[in-house]
Amino acid sequence: MTEIPTSRHSAFQVLTGLFSLPAGARIGAGPMIAAVVLVLIVLASILAPLYVPYDPLAMNAMARLRPPSDEFLLGTDPYGRDIFSRVMTGGRVSLLIGIGAAVVSVAVGLIIGLVAGFFRAADGIIMRIMDSLMAIPAILLAIALVALNGPSLGSVIIAITIPEVPRVVRLVRSVVLSAREEPYVEAAIALGSSMPKILIQHLMPNTLAPLIVQGTYICASAILIEAILSFLGAGVSTEIPTWGNIMAEGRSYFQLKPGLIFWPGLLLSLCILCINLLGDTARDLLDPRMKKREG
């Protein structure tokens, strides 16, 4: 069912049209649904303070562990806080951590990777440092950082970012290593272009497409790691609701109130599923070789 014009497009052309899809490229129903669901979750989270009926932090001793009703849409937790308000507000922090970690990792990794890929002298040293960073497990690092600085958004983002950066560096470096052998880069050297100019104008654009894909994966895994950290009690402090710490608090009341784990868990899974699906779609569109053979 492949459209001929699509298969005729070279990888270059596909990359050129990074933000304007090549004619004939089709996005299936799955990724479309994923995009819609993700947009809904993100909007709902961002706009949460505007519509949630209760302050997510306000405790109410009179209304503990209420079942879902007109008054409390999803019921209340052991402290009498409205679960619906907490889950929707909690999404803000979870998503912020996901996007923040992705942006920081990609930005830092891009710069280090460009340098490592282009300057032979720097390459060996940088890559050995990256190798050792990769050996640090995110969870342990996070627990250590939280123990040092106390639980905060920053600690969590840093803890997630540090082990992700080497992966981005490797990716960028490999793209630069192959692109720098391209005759057009050698021609630029012959034309007297300076090193920063070659790096930024000729080499960097080659890395953008794979970075977008990598970014989505980092985003998904960061949301998940934050949830795990909060669940372990090493994440963002419990005063700020996140999907992770709502579930952590709900642990001991699971049989009484399964909704405490179910609702944040559902949103979390949906979010990660959608992000990964979109990442796969982006990869297929940007790299035709990865596309599954149809028919």
Partner 1 sequence: MEFKSKDFTDKQRVLKIRRLKVGLTGRPAAQPVLNEIDLDIRAGETHCLVGESGSGKSVTSLATMGLLPKDALEVQGGLIDLEGFEITNATPNQMRELRARRIAMIFQEPMTALNPVLRVGEQIEEVLNMHTDLSQSEAKKRTLDIMEQVHLPDVERVYSAFPHQLSGGQRQRIMIAMALVLDPDLLIADEPTTALDVTTQLQILKLIAEMQERHGTAVLFITHDMGVVAEIADTVSVMQKGRIVERAPIRELLTNPQEDYTRKLLEAVPNLAPRPPRSEAAAEDVLTVDRLDKTYGGGGWFRKSEGVHAAQDVTFTIAAGRTLGIVGESGSGKSTVARCIMRLIDPTGGEVRVAGTEISQLSRRQLQPHRKHLQIVFQDPYRSLNPRWTVARSLCEGPINFGTSKDEAMTRAAELMELVDLPRDALDRYPHQFSGGQRQRIAIARAVAMQPDLLVADEAVSALDVSVQAQVLELLEDVQKRFGIAMLFITHDLRVAAQICDEVVVMQKGQVVEQGPAGAVLSDPRHPYTRSLIEAAPGRHWDFANFRALSGAPTAQGATA
* Helix (H) / strand (E) containing 228: helix 204-232
Residue selected from 81, 170, 202, 257 as contacting partner 1 according to rule CB under 8 A: 202
Do 115 and 291 meet the contact criterion of CB atoms below 8 Å apart?
Answer: no
Q: Go through 258-280 and write b for each residue having 16 or more CB atoms within 10 A of its CB, e for each that does not.
A: ebbbbbbbebbeebbebbbbbbb
**Residue 49 three-state SS:** helix
Nearer to partner 1, 94 or 206 (CB): 206
Q: How many helices (H) and strands (E) does the chain have?
A: 13, 0
Tell whether residue 212 is a contact of partner 1 (CB under 8 A). no
- What is the C-alpha separation between 161 and 156, in angstroms, rounded? 8
Tell whether residue 182 is a contact of partner 1 (CB under 8 A). yes
- What is the C-alpha separation between 79 and 57, in angstroms, rounded? 9
Tell whether residue 184 is a contact of partner 1 (CB under 8 A). yes
Nearer to partner 1, 7 or 252 (CB): 7
Residue selected from 19, 150, 183, 292 as contacting partner 1 according to rule CB under 8 A: 183
Residues 6 or more apart in contact with residue 166 via CB below 8 angstroms: 109, 130, 131, 133, 134
Task: Print the binding letters for residues 12-31 with partner 1: x by CB under 8 A, - otherwise.
Answer: xx-xx---------------
* Candidate ranges 83-91, 123-131, 191-199, 246-254; the one touching partner 1 (CB under 8 A): 191-199
Tell whether residue 189 is a contact of partner 1 (CB under 8 A). yes
Tell whether residue 121 is a contact of partner 1 (CB under 8 A). no
Tell whether residue 200 is a contact of partner 1 (CB under 8 A). no
Tell whether residue 62 is a contact of partner 1 (CB under 8 A). no
Tell whether residue 269 is a contact of partner 1 (CB under 8 A). no
Q: Which positions touch partner 1 (CB under 8 A)? A: 1-2, 4, 7, 10, 12-13, 15-16, 182-184, 186-195, 197, 202, 205, 294-295
